[in-house]
Amino acid sequence: MLTLWDLIAPRRKRRPPQPRPAPAARPVRRTPTAGPSMQDRYDAMTRQMLDRYGVRVRRWRKDMTGLAWEVYYANGETRRLIESPRPRGPVSAAIFLHEIGHHAIGFHRYKPRCLEEYHAWAFSLAQMEALGLNVTDRVRHRVHDSLHYAVMKARRRGLRSLPPELLPYAEPRRKTPRGPATSGAAPRRGTAPRRSRSRQAAR
């Protein structure tokens, strides 16, 4: 039997409950793997150079000076030693590689002494460029100041003929006014590069 309500509003069939879709899985964000830091690169370079040339660091210096020498023993053994700042930036890395350069090119191979300094610095800059290390203006200024110091020292000792490689370093570098944007200040008094030396061990 139909009722009034059936005539006014037909019944709606109830739909069975539909299962809810499972929530979509959120994409996992992968953080990019960080490459080696600049200090890691300096440390790797340090180990590589010490191993390649058989050099031992006698002491890490706190100032920006270095020294390289050899010790000869009665049994024929030769020990290669350096002192330098630990490479933590372009200038300290250049000084470290300069001292390594003395051992790489060999002592007393170039004369006069200032020419050996030139080739040790050339080794340092070549290695920095080969390893992708930044050669900054401060590094270039340090090289010029060091070689000018070596040239003036050689002239005081009686050098008359300057090798052509050292002619650009006969005059001091033109210094720019010191300020916030100035880089490569001249070495402070008492921090001039010390010459490398070779020592004979006591027998």
pLDDT digit of tens for each residue in the chain (203 aa)? Answer: 544 445 445 555 566 667 777 776 676 666 666 678 999 999 999 999 999 999 999 999 999 999 999 999 999 999 999 999 999 999 999 999 999 999 999 999 999 999 999 999 999 999 999 999 999 999 999 999 999 999 999 999 999 999 999 999 999 998 766 554 433 444 443 334 444 444 433 33
User: Which residues are paired to 59 by β-bridges?
Assistant: 83
| Helix, strand and coil percent figures for the chain, each rounded to 5 | 40, 10, 50
Q: What's the CA dihedral at 149, 97, 38, 133 to 10 degrees?
A: 80
3-state secondary structure of 105: helix
Taking the chain, what is the end-to-end CA distance rounded to the nearest angstrom? 130
Distance CA 188, CA 183 (A): 14
pTM: 0.72
Separation CA 166–CA 202 (nearest Å): 36
Q: Give the Cα-Cα-Cα angle 53, 58, 64 (nearest 5 degrees).
A: 90
Cβ atoms of 181 and 99 within 8 Å: the answer is no
Interatomic CA distance for residues 120 and 138, integer angstroms:
17
